[in-house]
Amino acid sequence: MTEPVLEALGVEKRFAGVRALAGVDLTVRPGEVHALVGENGAGKSTLIKVLTGVYQPDAGELRYQGAPVRFAGPPDAQAAGIATVYQEVALVGSMSVASNLFLGREPRRFGMIDFPAMRKSAAKLLAELGIDVDPARELRTLGLGVQQMIAVARALHSDARVVIMDEPTSSLEPREVDTLLALVRTLAERDVAVVYVSHRMDELYRVCDVVTVLRDGAVVHTGPLAELDRVRLIATMLGRDIAEVRREGSTAFSGEHETEDEPVLAAHELRRSTVLDGVDLEVRPGEVVGLGGLLGSGRSETVQALAGLQRLDSGAVEVNGQPVRPGSAAAAIRAGIVLVPEDRKVEGLVPNLSVRENIVLAALPRLSRLGVVSRAKQDAVVRTFMERLQIKASSPDQRVSELSGGNQQKVMLARWLAMSPKVLLLDEPTRGIDVGVKAQVQQLVDELADQGLGIVMVSSDLEELVEGADRVVVLRDGKSISQLRGDEVSVDAVLAEIAADAAEEVGS
Amino acid sequence: MTMTESFVDTSAATGARPSRGATLAALAQRHGALVVLVILLVAGGIAFDTFLTFYNLGNLAVQASFLAVVTLGMTLVIVSGGIDLSVGSVYALAGVLAAYASQWGLVPALLLPLAVSAVIGLAQGVLIGRFGMAPFIVTLGGLLFARGLLQFITDEGASTYLMPGDSPVRWLGSGKVLGIGVPVLIVVLLFLVGGFVLQRTRYGMRLFALGGNEDSSALMGIPVVRTKVLTYVLSGLGAGLAGILAAAQLGSGVTVVGVGLELNAIAAVVIGGTVLTGGRGGVTGTLAGVALLYVIQDLINQSGSVNANMQQVVSGGVLIVVVVVQTVLSRVRRGQSR
């Protein structure tokens, strides 16, 4: 067996007395892809931050290429050869691809940057990795997937011995994921050690050789991934019984809610210049409608338009047959349409406010009389939802920014449920949250539908879409092109619809 | 897996390649000020006999050169995603210090004001870079500090320091080489160096990276603190040098100058196509922006019939138009996505 390139020995880390890591051992060898898994709060992020020099361990040591090391900060770890690819692309969008690849180590001649040489090596590097991009192009004009690929190329170019990938695929399309995973294998073939963090089981089984499972800040299992089947892995992560996991399945959706009622939400021919080109949608009470399609097909734009967050050039939205003034979020909320947006931090939560404040924010008008907010009513609402959604917070007064991703998502949900909506729009409800909480959120979606809410769900996770939705509307280029219902709804069917589009696209 | 075959289909994965519209928009954003400047020069030349003369333009260039020196540093600061409000006060302070120190000769008259400006820039840079304070607030403090210091050393403007008429410093402000004012030559030289630094050196790349995305830059190992500190020092030096040149031209250190100069400098930089949020821009545009402000002023003076105060109104109007056009252009460039 090859010598480890990076080792963590008995690493401990505490935050304000809370133990985030309790004596973690991790051994990473050259040429292996090492999966690091665990629920949110298990300590993955903290461990990664220790490995990349963001945090210094309180106890234990790091060994790099056999010698004990201490990284003062991320640049330190990078200089040593530990590169990181982050969940969000950490590059500069306004600069060229080549500049992004070489930023901080540009080739120079006579003290000035040698741009021709830089473009040439960039082109060479990209060609080597099979990334067909013009190095002179501005990075932000590229898709997220390609940007993430550039980030990997950058890591590779820096002669990194270890590349740490923290959920690199969370904002990528399935096809882009394939490319990225191929790239991961390439790295491994070059004897680079890859630490791969992802919540997506598929990906882990496709690229990883070894797995280390964290739970409550400690390693509960480490060994070859092939020895651990999917169910066992989930059970190990959650610390649950295998039989239990089997019974519940890997997603927590119960299946069908068929109704014959009049649609609670109807949208006709939604159009907006370049993003929407005729979307039709109907949602009945108690029904979950999934929106399928590639990134950029208009999924998010559709739900945003329904919620009044995007102007419309034409088209109509009705709730219970009553027209809703388009382009007005206030009108949409009054009509009972609420959106739980994809990016919790940017679009929804106010991180510095408390759980209580975040929940009641949108419902304030209904909880107040003559502009005075009733504390008692607030407390009642907050208590109800914290219990119902099992929001884990030390108290309603804890800051939302201190909660884990999954709990933040629940707070977001609670806020909108406090508005007693008729239609709930969910944009990527489970992105970036871990398996356990994911199941809870999925269960919740089910429950809400049973209670008669009309739900529209956007998800890149096809399995989630298919198991969660009663009907799937497939979008392409801002247009709703087909609808799958009942037994037609399957991963293959949705893929076929999307693929049919792609074939058509090539033909045209 | 075969590595020869390209497995990223960028055309589908990324949307269309930049359209011609987007390319044109990029060009217009970069060179818009220059285009407007040329149009105004031609129009002015046709309208007024006295406008397109060597004498008039030469004078105009000297007048504009002080602001130009200030805007060079300001361009660096704005590209890095910051702002420097202290330059007007530092400009005035440096002028007075230069006049005061000119009694000891050329070298002190240069070094004293430059050293003080650099120290003010350094202090601001450290507060902004090392301690992560907001550039707006820190340099607003710098503005008040420098102005206050100036009031103090001049007894609230009561004592005026004159430069001896035979002082070699005077040559920097009012001398001519081949008929061209020395300040103008200094501006040309500085902008050549500035353009080179911004476009061709690592430091320049770091500025663009910082302004484009500071968090990413830090993660990519860019020395954020050092780069920021250096940038504010350079901006301070620019303001200081401009103050020296202005005092050298006037022959004395005047305390009331430079009020609002920082805003003119920001206006010129933005009109020149540098984006106020950072990460995009260049010094050529800035120079065009400065020229534009002064040409507008001169054309209004030439016309005679328009009240001189209209110059401010027109400059303000131009600024607003530029900002609106910039916003529209960058939307076009991003392909209309929100």
- Complex confidence, ipTM: 0.74
Nearest CA in chain B to A52: B219
Question: In the structure, what pLDDT confidence band is assigned to residue B117 with cuts at 50, 70 and 90?
Answer: very high
pLDDT at position B84: 94
CA distance A429 to B22: 35
pLDDT at B167 over 50: yes
Question: Which of residues 220 through 249 in chain A touch B, CB cutoff 8 A?
Answer: none
DSSP for A61-76, please give it: EEEETTEEE--SSHHH
Question: Which of residues 206 through 265 in chain B touch A, CB cutoff 8 A?
Answer: 206, 208-209, 211-213, 215-223
Residue in this structure with the two tokens 């027109």, named with its chain if needed = B314
CA distance B309 to A174: 62
Question: In the structure, what pLDDT confidence band is assigned to residue A156 with cuts at 50, 70 and 90?
Answer: confident
Mean pLDDT of B269-277: 87
A257 Cβ contact list (under 8 Å, min separation 6): A286, A287, A288, A446, A449, A450, A470
Nearest CA in chain A to B275: A94
Nearest beta carbon to residue A112 from set B4, B201, B217: B201
Min Cα separation A104/chain B (Å): 6
Mean pLDDT of B270-286: 87
* pLDDT tens profile A269-279: 888 877 788 88
Q: Which of A2-16, A284-298, B104-118 has the highest mean pLDDT?
A: B104-118
Radius of gyration of chain A (CA): 24
A313 in Cβ contact with A478 (< 8 Å) = no
Which parts of chain B fold into alpha helices (H)? Answer: 10-14, 20-47, 54-79, 87-101, 106-129, 135-153, 168-174, 182-200, 202-212, 214-219, 224-250, 261-271, 283-303, 310-333
Nearest beta carbon to residue A106 from set B5, B205, B213: B205
Buried b (16+ CB within 10 A) or exposed e, B315-333: beebbeebeeebeebbebb
Higher pLDDT, B60 or A348: B60
A419 in Cβ contact with A362 (< 8 Å) = yes
Question: Which of residues 307 through 366 in chain A touch B, CB cutoff 8 A?
Answer: 310
Residue A42 backbone phi and psi in degrees, to 5: -75, -20
Chain-chain contact of A94 with B215 (C-beta, under 8 angstroms) = no
pLDDT at A258 over 60: no
Chain-chain contact of A143 with B13 (C-beta, under 8 angstroms) = yes
CB atoms within 10 A of CB B60: 17
pLDDT at B255 over 90: no
Of the ranges A199-213, A438-452, B78-92, which one carries the lowest mean pLDDT score? A438-452
Contact residues on chain B for A98, CB-CB shorter than 8 A: none
Chain-chain contact of B4 with A179 (C-beta, under 8 angstroms) = no
CA distance B284 to B34: 9
Buried b (16+ CB within 10 A) or exposed e, B98-117: bbbbbeeeeebbbebbbebb
- Residue of B2, B10, B193 best to disrupt the A interface, most CBs of A under 10 A: B10
B295 in Cβ contact with B289 (< 8 Å) = no
Q: Which of A119-128, B23-32, B309-318 has the highest mean pLDDT?
A: A119-128
Q: For chain A, which residues make up each domain, given as ranges?
A: 30-55+72-90+143-248, 95-137, 265-336+421-506, 355-418
B67 in Cβ contact with B323 (< 8 Å) = no
CA distance B331 to B336: 5
Contact status of A146 with chain B (Cβ, < 8 Å): yes
pLDDT at B172 over 80: yes
Min Cα separation A30/chain B (Å): 20
Chain-chain contact of A179 with B8 (C-beta, under 8 angstroms) = yes
pLDDT at B9 over 60: no
A284 in Cβ contact with A454 (< 8 Å) = yes
Instruction: Give the residue among A274, A204, A191, A276 at the shortest CA–CA distance from A236.
Output: A204
CA distance B29 to B281: 9
pLDDT at A435 over 50: yes
Mean pLDDT of A97-125: 84
Residue in this structure with the two tokens 């089947």, named with its chain if needed = A229
Q: Which helix (H) or strand (E) holds A153?
A: helix A144-157
Contact residues on chain A for B209, CB-CB shorter than 8 A: 92, 95, 99, 103
Question: In the structure, what pLDDT confidence band is assigned to residue A500 with cuts at 50, 70 and 90?
Answer: low
Nearest beta carbon to residue B202 from set A86, A106, A149: A106
Contact residues on chain B for A138, CB-CB shorter than 8 A: 18
> Which domains are delineated in chain B?
21-336 (1.10.3470)
Mean pLDDT of chain B: 83
Kindly report each contact of residues A486-492 with a partner whose C-beta sits within 8 Å and lies 24 or more positions away, as own/partner: A486/A256, A486/A258, A489/A290, A490/A466, A491/A462, A491/A463, A491/A466
Residue in this structure with the two tokens 């030390």, named with its chain if needed = A394
CA distance B136 to B127: 11
Nearest beta carbon to residue B216 from set A91, A106, A175: A91
Nearest beta carbon to residue A103 from set B1, B200, B222: B222
Contact residues on chain B for A92, CB-CB shorter than 8 A: 208-209, 212-213, 216-217, 220, 279
Residue in this structure with the two tokens 């944009």, named with its chain if needed = A427
Mean pLDDT of B132-138: 92
Nearest beta carbon to residue B220 from set A103, A113, A133: A103
Of the ranges A182-186, A389-393, B250-254, which one carries the lowest mean pLDDT score? A389-393
Contact status of B105 with chain A (Cβ, < 8 Å): no
A195 in Cβ contact with A164 (< 8 Å) = yes
Contact status of A133 with chain B (Cβ, < 8 Å): yes
Contact residues on chain B for A113, CB-CB shorter than 8 A: 200-202, 204-205
* pLDDT tens profile A8-48: 888 888 876 677 888 889 999 998 999 998 876 678 888 88
Residue B257 has what DSSP assignment? T
Q: Does the model's pTM come out above 0.80?
A: no
CA distance B230 to B278: 16
Residue B69 has what DSSP assignment? H
Nearest beta carbon to residue B280 from set A94, A149, A186: A94
Mean pLDDT of A122-147: 83
Contact status of A274 with chain B (Cβ, < 8 Å): yes
Question: Which of residues 162 through 201 in chain A touch B, CB cutoff 8 A?
Answer: 173, 175-176, 178-179, 182, 185-186
- What number of C-beta contacts closer than 8 Å exist between A and B? 128
CA distance A325 to B223: 50
pLDDT at A411 over 70: yes
Residue B304 backbone phi and psi in degrees, to 5: 75, -40
Contact status of B21 with chain A (Cβ, < 8 Å): no
CA distance A167 to B64: 53
| Whole-Å CA distances, A289 to A87, A239, A269, B123, B152 | 28, 33, 17, 58, 72
Q: Tell me the one-letter amino acid at A441.
A: V
Mean pLDDT of chain A: 80
pLDDT at position B7: 39
Chain-chain contact of B219 with A84 (C-beta, under 8 angstroms) = yes
Reply yes or no on domain A30-55+72-90+143-248 having CATH 3.40.50.1220. no
Residue B250 backbone phi and psi in degrees, to 5: -75, -30
Contact status of B113 with chain A (Cβ, < 8 Å): no
pLDDT at B13 over 60: no
Residue A298 backbone phi and psi in degrees, to 5: 105, 15
Q: What CATH code would you report for A265-336+421-506?
A: 3.40.50.300
Give me the residues paired with residue A12 across strands.
A59
- What's CA B103's distance to the chain center, in Å? 30
CA distance B117 to B123: 10
Q: Which two tokens stand for residue A173?
A: 């399309």
Q: Which helix (H) or strand (E) holds A309?
A: none
In the sheet with A337-340, reading across from the earlier edge strand, the strands are A337-340, A423-427, A454-458, A288-292, A471-476, A479-485
Nearest CA in chain B to A158: B220
Q: With pLDDT > 90 as the criterion, what percentage of chain B qualifies?
A: 36
- Residue of B9, B27, B206, B220 best to disrupt the A interface, most CBs of A under 10 A: B220
Higher pLDDT, A52 or A486: A52
CA distance B281 to B75: 8
Residue B60 backbone phi and psi in degrees, to 5: -60, -40
pLDDT at position B281: 87
Of the ranges A94-103, A385-394, B100-109, B177-186, which one carries the lowest mean pLDDT score? A385-394
pLDDT at B235 over 90: yes
Question: Which of residues 278 through 317 in chain A touch B, CB cutoff 8 A?
Answer: 296, 310
Min Cα separation A503/chain B (Å): 12
| Whole-Å CA distances, A37 to A197, A433, A460 | 6, 12, 20
Instruction: Give the residue among A233, A241, A245, A237 at the shortest CA–CA distance from A218.
Output: A237
Contact residues on chain A for B206, CB-CB shorter than 8 A: 103-104
The answer to whether A30-55+72-90+143-248 and A265-336+421-506 have equal CATH topology is yes
CA distance A374 to A360: 11
Min Cα separation B192/chain A (Å): 14
Kindly report each contact of residues A390-398 with a partner whose C-beta sits within 8 Å and lies 24 or more positions away, as own/partner: A390/A440, A391/A355, A393/A355, A395/A355, A396/A354, A396/A355, A396/A356, A396/A359, A397/A354, A397/A355, A397/A356, A398/A354, A398/A355
